[in-house]
Amino acid sequence: MSTIRMRISPAGDVLDVKALIRHPMESGLREDKSTGEKIPADYIQKLVVEVNGEEVMDGNLSEAVSKNPYLNIKVPGKKGDEVKISWSSNTGDTDEATQAA
């Protein structure tokens, strides 16, 4: 099951892409209240958005981004184009989702 949910609204030659990514985005600074031990860092480092296989956004995230990040971007494209969002974390986890506009 993908961690990425997308909603894409075409408007002429622009796609309004909204995505919610389920991820804990742990900074490594918080403590587990029950044990008092630090919760290990686990956050998305790299986020890439492609339209029809062409990269339109390459972003670097950090531990400062909140849990379950929400992304809202406008990218060039039209109805029927394929949008792909992929991410990788500092722990080596990855995910991707593709959806037609």
Q: Is residue 58 part of a domain?
A: yes
pLDDT at 1: 79
In a domain, 45, yes or no: yes
38 pLDDT band (50/70/90 cuts)? very high
Q: Looking at the domain assignment, is residue 32 inside a domain?
A: no
Give the range of the structural domain holding residue 93, as residue numbers without chain letter: 4-27+41-100
CATH number (domain holding residue 14): 2.60.40.10
Digit-coded pLDDT (tens) for 41-98: 999 999 999 999 999 999 999 999 999 999 999 999 999 999 999 999 999 999 999 9
Alpha carbon 72 to its chain centroid, in Å, reads: 10
Q: Is residue 35 part of a domain?
A: no
Q: How many domains does the chain have?
A: 1
In a domain, residue 34? The reply is: no
Residue 86 burial class via C-beta count within 10 angstroms: exposed 0-12, middle 13-18, buried 19 and up: middle
Whether the predicted model's global pTM rises above the 0.85 cut: yes
pLDDT digits (tens, 9 = 90+) for 12-31: 999 999 999 999 999 999 99
52 falls within a domain: yes
